[in-house]
């Protein structure tokens, strides 16, 4: 009997569970190609963008995918309100 822990072999069959990360340069390329929608045109809200069916938040190093269903629902609702011109209704 071998009591030593055995390494688990790497496989591509295991899905990733963490959020995706995209560099600023790559997201800028997607934005230039029209594939990115900001939360609103206001500069203070441009840290949130919608790309590839997900919301992303900017940080100094790039963009981090927001994976929380509750947060994505809030951002969807906020985006709809801003698009209608009524943020506080």
Using only the alpha carbons of the chain, give its radius of gyration.
18
Please check whether residue 56 is in contact with residue 50, taking contact to mean a CB–CB distance below 8 angstroms. yes
Which is higher by pLDDT, 62 or 14? 62
Q: Does this model's pTM top 0.95?
A: no
- Ranges of beta strands (E only) in the chain are 21-23, 37-38, 48-51, 54-59, 62-65
pLDDT of residue 6: 53
Our measurement of the distance from residue 54's CA atom to the centroid of its chain's CA atoms, rounded to an integer in Å, reads 5
Q: pLDDT for 24-82, tens place per residue?
A: 999 999 999 999 999 988 777 889 999 999 999 999 999 999 999 999 999 999 998 88
């Amino acid at each position: 009997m071998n009591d030593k822990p055995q390494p688990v072999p790497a496989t591509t069959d295991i899905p990733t569970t963490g959020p995706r990360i995209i560099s600023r340069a790559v997201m800028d390329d997607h934005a230039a190609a029209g594939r990115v929608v900001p939360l609103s045109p206001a500069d203070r809200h441009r840290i949130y963008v919608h790309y590839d069916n997900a919301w992303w938040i900017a940080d100094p190093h790039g963009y981090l995918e927001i994976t929380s269903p509750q947060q994505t629902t809030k951002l969807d609702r906020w985006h709809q309100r801003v698009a209608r011109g009524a943020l506080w209704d």
